[in-house]
Amino acid sequence: MRSHCAEPEIKEILISREKIQSRVRELGEEISRDYAGKPLMLIGVLKGSFIFLADLMRHITIPCSVEFICLSSYEGGTESTGIVRMLLDLRSDSSGREVLIVEDIVDSGLTLNYLMDNLRTRHPASLEVCTLLNKPEERKIPVPVKYTGFEIPNKFVVGYGLDFQECYRNLSYIGVLKV
Ligand code: 5GP
């Protein structure tokens, strides 16, 4: 891990703050309509989804609770190792609940596939996925994503919660790192 975060070394702004904010609002409205009358359990996948989840939740107008799970698959690099480890588990029971996983990005699909298999064993009433970003070109395993903010090309992105070696999460836009 870097000892400090340098000035942003961003070569391209892929998605502006304004575009993110308006799409997140739309997603919140859509989710609120789809789950009307069904109390929702949001499960944020740490750390990358925390900013998206916080903004999304403020646009969800139906009753909902939030839980966090922490998975690790990249181990500080820019390519998935394929080995997923659970670093933090849910603190409340998800059985019989309407569960919506909130992810920052789906790339190979390995992380999400692991998480969905794991959560299915706990018998939720329903299990769906909302991801801010989707990189379909890199998919190694099919995963059912119900809500997608943006489809992006196969580039390593940072900002709005996504990091490179724990830096750049605080950017309000999604950018491509200079390499
Ligand atoms: P997957 O298992 O689908 O390959 O990867 C999912 C996880 O890898 C994401 O939750 C995220 O933490 C990380 N990841 C995948 N692509 C990117 C990317 O372009 N930028 C960053 N910062 N993380 C990524």
- Quick one: pLDDT band at residue 173, thresholds 50, 70, 90? very high
Return the best residue to mutate from 111, 135, 145 for the ligand 1 pocket (most ligand atoms within 8 A of CB).
Answer: 111
- Measuring CA to CA, which residue among 146, 56, 143 is closest to residue 107? 143
CATH number of 19-71+96-153: 3.40.50.2020
pTM of structure: 0.93
Ligand 1 pocket by Cβ (under 6 Å): 45, 48, 73-74, 80, 103-112, 156-158, 162-164
Q: What phi-psi label fits residue 108: left (phi over 0), alpha (psi between -120 and 50 degrees) or beta?
A: alpha
The residue ranges of DSSP E strands in 47-112, in sequence order, are: 64-72, 85-88, 98-106
Does 47 sit behind a cis peptide bond, omega within 30 degrees of 0 on the bond before it?
Answer: yes
100 close to 43: Cβ distance less than 8 angstroms:
yes
Tens digits of residue pLDDT in 56-110 = 999 999 999 999 999 887 555 556 666 788 898 888 888 999 999 999 999 999 9
Atom of ligand 1 nearest to the CA of 82: 2
**62 CA from centroid of ligand 1 (Å):** 29
31 close to 61: Cβ distance less than 8 angstroms:
no
Fill in the DSSP letter of residue 165: T
Return the best residue to mutate from 105, 134, 154 for the ligand 1 pocket (most ligand atoms within 8 A of CB).
Answer: 105
Tens digits of residue pLDDT in 139-167 = 999 999 999 999 999 999 999 999 999 99
Q: Where are the domains of the chain?
A: 19-71+96-153
